[in-house]
Structure 1
Amino acid sequence: MSSHAPLSLRAPATISLVSVFPAGDNGGNPAPIVLDADAMTSGEMRAVAAHYGHESAFVMNARAPENAWRFRFFVPNHEMEMCGHATLGALWVLRRGGRWDGSPVTIETLSGRVQGRLAADGEHIEVSQPAGRTEPVVDASAIAAICATLRIAPDDIALEGVCNAATSRVKTLVPLRSIAQLQALCPDFTTLLATCDAIGSTGLYPCAREAVEDGHALPVLQARQFPRSSGYPEDAATGIAAAALLYGARRYGWLAPGERGVVVRQGVAMGRPSAITVTLRDALDASAGCWISGDVHAI
């Protein structure tokens, strides 16, 4: 990130660069965070995302007094309703700057209100997502298009089957039979937009289960995110997609009785290993939504 030239912002806006969900050297998803962005136009916000080439969060005063802030999110190509890792990064920057003490807050976004809080460990930040919904993709032509875009054979898809899943935005879960298949994917990006549009999705999220190992507090899944039209081909860590995958994993039977969450590893094939923790807010009531959490550090 240090190779970027300085970017001029309207005073008093300030920008911070953070990496969210890192799980190793060069890991995580970089996010530019712009505080005090009330005076910025949509075009200027999008220009920041285009300059850095990553999802960017813009922190503004809330419109409703019961909320702490209003966040807007941009990728190089357009505005987004919600971005999980950028929300987490923005709250981390606010806390580090002494502008938030970690107590529960609500934040206005285009996808609705989300909550942020400091986790019970007193270190990590948690961001809420609403209850997920899942719907199987069974149309033969849609499955064929997905396979063609991912350059896989239909038999490479696990028996659980493809489904659209969402908390804030629809992601298409494509369960594969092995981690090796997942990491070897080399999609045809020229067909990705049309494939996603045909199934009402904002990205393909192929995934696979890691072998169960003793000592893991939560089941571990791996995934890769190929966004429909963000201005870059692959995402190193996607909190919203990981939240959707939690509900997909419940549909697929990948969680044992009583298990309330998963760790999603992403970015491995990119050399930017990431880890996203997603847990149900209420282990007995999946309709209560979930929390996404993970590490954050400054770049």
Structure 2
Amino acid sequence: MNHRVRVVSVFASGPDGGNPAPIVVDAAGMTDADMQQVARSHGHESGFVFPAPAGSGCDFEFRFWVPNHEMSMCGHATVGALWLLERLGRLPGDSYTILTRSGRVEAKVGGRTEQGTEQGAQIEISQPLGHVEPLPDADRSRADILDVLGLQADDLLPLPVQNAATSRVKTLVPLKSVATLDRLTPDFSRIEALCERIGSTGLYPYAVSDPGAQVVDARQFPSSSGYPEDAATGIAASALAFGLLSNGMVEASQRRIAIRQGRAMQRPSEISVRFRLDQGRPAGCWLGGAVRMAQHDQGDLS
């Protein structure tokens, strides 16, 4: 099999933006060590496309690795892999089901443009209903988070710091201003131990930049991925949407929520989240955004 690695930039907002995702669209025969080596050599979350197991009722199986370990789900690598499959002519339909280690993911393919254009199809993937919970030992945990992020109590909105998840737990830290978010200088050496104690896979501080338009800025500091910060984190953005909903900061509607990330890394990104409604109540969400080939991987897509 051809185990060629192609790199896409997912959730890109501008030519240098987005989160790079190395993708192997024909990963059958790759071992765990093979996949981890791809993630280690590129230094990014990586996605691998396998044939779906017989009887699964799915169209593909996706697996995901970061340099340090396998992940059960990766939003931007899923969006990037589907976009790449469509560009390669392997997604003739409009809807697909993906098997992941965290469960089944539905995908919608729309807005197709001609082959060879920069943007290609518009991809959205499903995430389940989010769960939002208070932190364990909330006062101590809040103090520890402030200390690790280099914040003062006055930097926070009068809202709880919360754990939220659709696929993986992220800790949502509500800040008063985007300026405070931009100047964060975390103590990265302490994040993994802190996240382990509070039952989280990463800190996700955020600030609402335009409440009327439902635009939010955020940064993601993962607990143990092998790198200090993410340029765009779809799973965290999905969790944040439900955190915002629980605090009355966004509507329980299908209006788009725009979550901007990556500016502090000079990789500006924008993630689109829309609630999926069942009898007028959110029952999950759709996650999507722009994708393009990474600048260093602009070769033939044949």
TM-score, normalised to structure 1's length?
0.91
Deviations 1:19-60 (A, max 9, x none): 000002310000000021110110110000000000000000
Q: CA RMSD in A?
A: 1.6
Aligned match for 1:77, one of 68, 75, 79:
68
Cross-structure match for 2:117: none
Paired amino acid for 1:228 = S
**Secondary structure of the corresponding residue to residue 207 of structure 1:** strand
For residues 186 and 54 of structure 2, what CA distance do their matches in structure 1 show? 43
Cα distance 1:163–1:91, how it changes in 2: closer, same or farther (>3 A)? same
For residues 259 and 282 of structure 1, what CA distance do their matches in structure 2 show? 7
For residues 69 and 34 of structure 2, what CA distance do their matches in structure 1 show? 12
Q: Is the 8 A contact 2:253 2:282 kept in 1?
A: no
For residues 35 and 212 of structure 1, what CA distance do their matches in structure 2 show? 39
For structure 1, the residue ranges without an aligned partner over 5 or more in a row are 1-10
For structure 2, the residue ranges without an aligned partner over 5 or more in a row are 114-120, 295-302
For residues 21 and 258 of structure 2, what CA distance do their matches in structure 1 show? 21
For residues 180 and 156 of structure 2, what CA distance do their matches in structure 1 show? 10
In the TM superposition, residue 261 of structure 1 has moved relative to its aligned partner by 3.7
Q: Is the 8 A contact 1:156 1:177 kept in 2?
A: yes
Aligned residues: 284
Cross-structure match for 1:298: 293
Cross-structure match for 1:207: 206
Paired amino acid for 1:171 = K
Greater shift after overlay, 74-83 or 130-139? 130-139
Paired amino acid for 2:11 = F
Cross-structure match for 1:25: 15
Deviations 1:251-290 (A, max 9, x none): 1111146464410000011110000000012272212x11
**Secondary structure of the corresponding residue to residue 151 of structure 2:** coil
Deviations 1:170-220 (A, max 9, x none): 00000001000001100000110111011100000000000346xx4xx10
In the TM superposition, residue 234 of structure 1 has moved relative to its aligned partner by 0.2
Aligned match for 2:29, one of 39, 52, 69:
39
TM-score, normalised to structure 2's length?
0.90
1:132 aligns with 2:122: no
**Secondary structure of the corresponding residue to residue 167 of structure 2:** coil
Cross-structure match for 2:170: 171
Runs of 4 or more off by more than 6 Å in structure 1? none
Q: Is the 8 A contact 2:182 2:264 kept in 1?
A: yes
For residues 46 and 298 of structure 1, what CA distance do their matches in structure 2 show? 22
